[in-house]
Amino acid sequence: MSLFSPLTLPNGAILPNRIAKAAMEENMADADHAPSASLIRLYEAWGRGGSGLIITGNVMVDARAMTGPAGVVLEEPSHLDRFRDWARAGRAGGAQLWMQINHPGRQMPAALGQPTLAPSAVALDLGRQSRVFAPPREMTEAEIDDVRRRFVTAAGLAAQAGFSGVEIHAAHGYLLSQFLSPLANRRTDRWGGSLENRARLLLDIVRDVRAAVPPDFAVAVKLNSADFQRGGFSPDDAKAVVAMLSPLGVDLVELSGGSYEAPAMMGSARDERTLAREAYFLEFARDIAAVATMPLMVTGGIRRRAVAEKVIASGVAVAGLATALAIAPDLPERWRRGTDDAPALRPVTWKNKPLASTALMSAVRYQLARVSRGRRPRPGVPPLFALIAAQLTAKRQTRAYRAWMAARHA
Q: Considering the chain, what is the average pLDDT of its residues?
A: 93
- Gyration radius of the chain's alpha carbons: 19
Range of the domain at 355: 7-409
pLDDT of residue 164: 98
Query: What mean pLDDT do residues 350-359 have?
Result: 86
Query: What mean pLDDT do residues 146-168 have?
Result: 98
Percent of the chain with pLDDT over 90: 82
The CA-atom distances, in angstroms, between 347 and each of 327, 343, 369, 373 are 14, 12, 20, 25
Residue 376: pLDDT band with limits 50, 70, 90: very high
Buried b (16+ CB within 10 A) or exposed e, 76-93: eeebbebbebbbbbbbeb
CA distance 127 to 118: 19
Task: Tell me the per-residue pLDDT of 220-270, one tens digit each, with 9 for 90 and over.
Answer: 999 998 777 878 899 899 999 999 999 999 999 999 887 888 765 544 333
Q: State how many domains the chain has.
A: 1
- On whether the CB atoms of residues 143 and 198 are closer than 8 A, the answer is no
Query: What mean pLDDT do residues 102-107 have?
Result: 98
Inside any domain, residue 302: yes
Length of the chain: 410
- On whether the CB atoms of residues 9 and 218 are closer than 8 A, the answer is yes
User: 137-138 and 165-170: which strand pairing?
Assistant: unpaired
Inside any domain, residue 2: no
Inside any domain, residue 44: yes
- On whether the CB atoms of residues 63 and 405 are closer than 8 A, the answer is yes
**Backbone phi, psi, residue 224, to 5°:** -70, 135
The distance between the two most distant Cα atoms of the chain, rounded to a whole number of Å, is 57
pLDDT of residue 4: 96
Query: What mean pLDDT do residues 199-214 have?
Result: 98
Inside any domain, residue 393: yes
Task: Tell me the per-residue pLDDT of 304-354, one tens digit each, with 9 for 90 and over.
Answer: 999 999 999 999 999 999 999 999 999 999 999 999 999 999 999 898 877
Residue 278 has pLDDT above 80, yes or no: no
Q: Residue 318 belongs to a domain with what CATH number?
A: 3.20.20.70
Q: Is 391 left (phi over 0), alpha (psi -120 to 50) or beta?
A: alpha
Task: Tell me the per-residue pLDDT of 126-145, one tens digit each, with 9 for 90 and over.
Answer: 888 888 999 999 999 999 99
Task: Tell me the per-residue pLDDT of 108-120, one tens digit each, with 9 for 90 and over.
Answer: 999 999 999 999 9
Residue 271 has pLDDT above 60, yes or no: no
Q: Which amino acid is at 371?
A: V
Inside any domain, residue 1: no
pLDDT of residue 272: 38
Residue 30: pLDDT band with limits 50, 70, 90: very high
pLDDT of residue 269: 34
Buried b (16+ CB within 10 A) or exposed e, 162-188: bbbbbbbbbbbbbbbbbbbbbbbbebe
